[in-house]
Structure 1
Amino acid sequence: MEWLHELFKKSPEMALFLSLAVGYWIGKIKFGKFQLGGVAGSLLVAVLVSQVGVQVDAGVKAVLFALFIYAVGFESGPQFFSSLGRQSVKEIILAAVMAATGLAAVMAATGLATVVVMARLCELDKGLAAGVAAGGLTQSAIIGTAGDAIAKLGLDAAETARLQANVAIGYAVTYVFGSFGAIIVCVNILPKFMVRTIRDDAIAAETAQQAGVKVLGPEQQEAAPSLVGRIYELVADPKRTIADIENANPATTITIERVKRDGKFVEVSPELVLRQGDIVLAVGRRDAVVASAPLLGKEVYAVDGMELTMQRREIVLTNKEFDRKTVDEIRKATAGGVRHGIFVVQISRMGKVLPMKPDTVVQSGDLVSIFGAEQDVKRVAAIVGDVIVPSAKTDFVYLGAGLVVGLLVGLLSVKIGSIPLTLGAGGGALLSGLLFGWYRAKRQTFGALPPSAVQLLKDLGLAGFVVVVGLSSGLQAVQTIRQLGLTIFGVGVVVTIVPMLLTMLFGRYVLRYGNTAIFAGALSGSRSANPAFGEVLDKAENSIPTVPFAITYALANVFLTLLGPLIVALV
């Protein structure tokens, strides 16, 4: 093992990536219906690797966690601010329950009560009890608040130092399972308790948010697309102009994009009269093209030169003439020559798809997806607003500014008596991500952070953070368990599991949570359980759990921090 120690001493980053690789491999293995997942697997492997002695700079953990939590906030900012309302009260109550503050009579055995009861049963001193709370509830701030409270007890210097050292010991022994146990509850126990999967309920919640509008996921497309192009040969002399055919049914217009006559292409214009034998390319919504088929003749295939490349573009609506107007009003006020060849595929606002109905009201900042030939798209884009050019590049100016703001907010501290309360780096980065993501959704011409980049930041940030935790704490935790026995570890297991299970019951039967994905986000946030939340997001495959997590996470950082002095006073 000495050679491994020397190897990791020279290259500690090797231990990090080894833990990630092996951990995610183990996380894919299924034990019946149980599956660890990549984050939990990486944590376990990191603990094993740590036994050879690995030193990873604490700054690495801070950077990785900041990237993860900021990316989560950035992705969910639009949805978060549009979802704030009465429904948020449940998340606030859930966070208070987990911290055993305000609702201790309802949840007597959760949070603080669990720690105090177990400490008295197992005869733990104030330092060990506070450390178990900090590790079992994965709230590192308790170490600081408990240490300050111990210093004010008026004990002699040696006893004060001993109790403060015991805080660190209790934390080191219980923190690893504090992270792992929260994953088990949120990802494995909760879905079985709710008898529904996180993924199914995440899809259901997303569908409900979209007001019934069908939203295709990545790599999905309709088998029968709504917009189609068809080539027809006129078998009779219609004696109609292109304009007549295009507007035969005002409710279901089509466009004639190309005309081939006697083997040559004819310039398309509204006044062009079509003849028998002409070959035309008609583009439009499926129902309109099907309805117009009798006017056009028989459908033909593979006609040279009739191919036409269409494109879809996203445009941010900036034209004030369209602001606060209905779709029908805009259509009637827009000249046919402007609308010609353009089909509005989708309108979305702050990430939410709006129903394409005549009475749907559009606003400045809405994202309008249009479909048409290149020249038509350019013409309409110049009138509607700013075109969003697809790009895989990240705007690091915006990303860096967001992280700086978040970390600055995390440094702010407010004292209640002698207890300092702060959001911390994680809470600050989350809040900043929410705000910067929301503002980006309103002004989409800058601040790009592609979905693939967001996913990478979330995956690498969380998994790397968890691995550094395992590498940093695993060796000390195992050594302490060997010296003191399994008592402290066992107490930590109880402190981790019991409050979450009781809070889960309270949330289900008192607060009436019915959606597993939303409940899992709220439950993980109320325990500040970032690794558990990462696994919940992975199972959900969308951002639905983020809103409840963000609310309970911010409150839990405050409520759980208060436990330090309370434990010192009650044990």
Structure 2
Amino acid sequence: MEWLHNLFGRSPEMAIFLSLAVGYAIGKIKFGKFQLGGVAGSLLVAVLVSQVGVHVDGGIKAVLFALFIFAVGFESGPQFFSSLGRQSIKEIVLAAVMALTGLVTVVVMAKLFALDKGLAAGVAAGGLTQSAIIGTAGDAIAKLGLGAEETARLQGNVAVGYAVTYVFGSFGAILVCVNILPRLMGRSIRDDAIAAEAAMQAGVHVLGPDQEAAAPSLVGRIYEMTDDPQRSVAEIENADPTTTITIERIKRDGKLIDPSPELVLHRNDIVLVVGRREAVIANAPLFGREVFAVEDMELTMFKREVVLTNRNFHQKTVANIREATLGGVRHGVFVVQLSRMGVALPLQPQTVIHIGDVVSIYGAEQDVKRVAATIGDTIVSSAKTDFVYLGAGIVAGLLIGMLSVKLANIPLTLGAGGGALLAGLLFGWYRAKKQTIGEIPGGAVQLLKDLGLAGFVVVVGLQSGLQAVETVRQLGLTIFGVGVVVTIVPMVLTMLFGRYVLRYSNTAIFAGALSGSRSANPAFGEVLDKASNTIPTVPFAITYALANVFLTLLGPLIVALV
């Protein structure tokens, strides 16, 4: 394997992408109902590749993880802040239970297998995938008053225990969250994610990507007038204020004429009527015979999303706004959707509109432009990422992660991951309020999540795999086995507590909370992949932030109790 070692020495990035390619290929293979998934597959392949000797700079891991966790927060910021409150108590309790069961499991296993303080703390750091325990445990060992040689030995054992157990710590969390949890709940992550998303939309049906309604709510029909109604365009359009139709084009004697409000319709006129389906159907007898493919009668319609900035509409109901804009202001324009912080609102007369809501309007180009200027700022869709916003967000997150406070001489910090997640949540929330800035297309966010997480896991495997295997060879499987127990037992106990005591009923939400309570980023990535939406992110963000504090505190506690 010398040639592979030399090859990866010249191009370590090749080892990363090889692990990704082969890992995702393996992750697609199904063993009955069990499937590894791309992240777990990439981790295993990276461990194998690491055996030939690969050096990957640790900075790559930090960059990839920052991109992943910021993108997760950015996508879920609006829902996160709206979900905070009394409903978050379950996540707080779940994170506390995970930390407590983790502590008890580590202490019991250390007593059973006569592990010293260093190995016990290292097993906790790796088995619970909380690297900060290395620092807090090492600091606690230094304060025990032992000789320099013994202190160095114990601190070295922390790193040994971490190296042996970290790989399965990541892999085991994936197994529990993605494979065991859905079986306990009796429902898949995907099905419950869809159900939760539908509930979030308050019954509003929102079409997904590449979906179209078979019977759209807005339609256009061409009619040939079979009677002489002797009514003007305005009289017909405003006959029933509860239903809206507009006459967009009129053809008389083979020529197009301006559909001005005062124009009176005659027999044999050909008219293009646009409106909501029920209104067009109700008024069809008034127009006469429907015709098709009439030259010059087709009209291209436009849809635009506009952020409401006009304070005249703030805290007004839909009915109030319809009444105030009846006639020329909104003529020819239809509101097809309202949304607030990414959540669709029902288009009901009693729905109250706020500044910052997004209004989706539909109509002819000149009408849409006129109404959009009245409402607020048009959102210009772009395939380009606003790197000013993205870069500023990640920098802010990394700065937040550097902040540290001491609790009984124990330094507590969010770390780079927690800081980037918090910044992502804040920047995503602000982007939802001010959608004219900070454009990061959905495809770009997905790429940041997928590549960031998978690449991070691969680098972990390449850096830790060789040392972990070598340590297992030297010390036997005892430390590895203890790490397996420390990984699985607290997660299973916490899972059972969440299911039967906290009464979690949605698999996707529970999986997000459980992975966050263990700060298990690879597991969370697989949960997100299974869910195919952002539903698991909000509970993950809450428990992840708490886990960074609770699990970090385990370092000195283990040193004191073992």
Instruction: State the TM bucket, normalised to the shorter chain.
Output: over 0.9
CA distance in 2, matches of 1:435, 1:455: 18
Instruction: Report how far residue 299 of structure 1 moved.
Output: 1.3
SS at match of 1:138: coil
Question: Which residue does the alignment assign to 1:71?
Answer: 71
CA distance in 2, matches of 1:335, 1:248: 12
Instruction: Report how far residue 244 of structure 1 moved.
Output: 2.1
Question: Which residue does the alignment assign to 1:532?
Answer: 523
SS at match of 1:336: coil
Question: Which residue does the alignment assign to 1:308?
Answer: 299
Question: Which residue does the alignment assign to 1:484?
Answer: 475
Instruction: Report how far residue 217 of structure 1 moved.
Output: 1.3
Question: Which residue does the alignment assign to 2:87?
Answer: 87
CA distance in 2, matches of 1:48, 1:86: 46
- Among 177, 183, 200, the alignment partner of 2:174 is 183
CA distance in 2, matches of 1:473, 1:296: 75
- Among 166, 171, 180, the alignment partner of 2:162 is 171
Instruction: Report how far residue 538 of structure 1 moved.
Output: 0.8
CA distance in 2, matches of 1:345, 1:367: 11
Q: Which amino acid is 2:33 matched to? A: K
Question: Which residue does the alignment assign to 2:268?
Answer: 277
Alpha-carbon RMSD across the aligned residues, in angstroms, is 0.9
CA distance in 2, matches of 1:235, 1:31: 67
- Among 138, 142, 165, the alignment partner of 1:151 is 142
Q: Which amino acid is 2:548 matched to? A: N
Q: Which moved more, 1:70-79 or 1:292-301?
A: 292-301
1:9-50 Cα deviation digits (max 9, x unpaired): 011001001111111111111111111111111111111111
CA distance in 2, matches of 1:235, 1:492: 83
1:392-427 Cα deviation digits (max 9, x unpaired): 111111111111111001000111122111000000
Question: Which residue does the alignment assign to 1:193?
Answer: 184
Question: Which residue does the alignment assign to 1:11?
Answer: 11
CA distance in 2, matches of 1:167, 1:564: 10
Matched, 1:450 2:412: no
CA distance in 2, matches of 1:271, 1:91: 62
- Among 122, 125, 131, the alignment partner of 1:131 is 122
Q: Which moved more, 1:362-371 or 1:231-240?
A: 231-240
Alignment of 1:306-385 (within 5 A): 306-385=297-376
CA distance in 1, matches of 2:555, 2:217: 60
Alignment of 1:536-547 (within 5 A): 536-547=527-538
- Among 208, 211, 216, the alignment partner of 1:217 is 208
Question: Which residue does the alignment assign to 2:46?
Answer: 46
Question: Which residue does the alignment assign to 1:437?
Answer: 428
Question: Which residue does the alignment assign to 2:198?
Answer: 207
Q: Which amino acid is 1:458 matched to? A: K
1:441-480 Cα deviation digits (max 9, x unpaired): 1111111111111111100100000000000000111111
Instruction: Normalising by structure 2, report the TM-score.
Output: 0.99
Q: Which amino acid is 2:499 matched to? A: R
CA distance in 1, matches of 2:179, 2:290: 55
Question: Which residue does the alignment assign to 1:30?
Answer: 30
CA distance in 1, matches of 2:187, 2:137: 40
SS at match of 1:87: helix
Instruction: Report how far residue 236 of structure 1 moved.
Output: 2.0
Q: Which moved more, 1:237-246 or 1:316-325?
A: 237-246
List alignment gaps of at least 5 residues for structure 2. Answer: none
Question: Which residue does the alignment assign to 1:106?
Answer: none
Question: Which residue does the alignment assign to 1:509?
Answer: 500
CA distance in 1, matches of 2:93, 2:453: 27
CA distance in 1, matches of 2:469, 2:292: 72
Instruction: Report how far residue 335 of structure 1 moved.
Output: 4.0
CA distance in 2, matches of 1:45, 1:426: 24
Q: Which amino acid is 1:482 matched to? A: R
SS at match of 2:213: coil
Instruction: Report how far residue 149 of structure 1 moved.
Output: 1.1
CA distance in 1, matches of 2:216, 2:40: 41
Instruction: Report how far residue 247 of structure 1 moved.
Output: 2.1
Instruction: Normalising by structure 1, report the TM-score.
Output: 0.97
CA distance in 1, matches of 2:326, 2:244: 14
CA distance in 1, matches of 2:561, 2:84: 37
Instruction: Report how far residue 230 of structure 1 moved.
Output: 1.0
Moved over 6 A (4+): none
Matched length: 562
CA distance in 2, matches of 1:228, 1:169: 68
Identity among equivalent pairs (%):
81
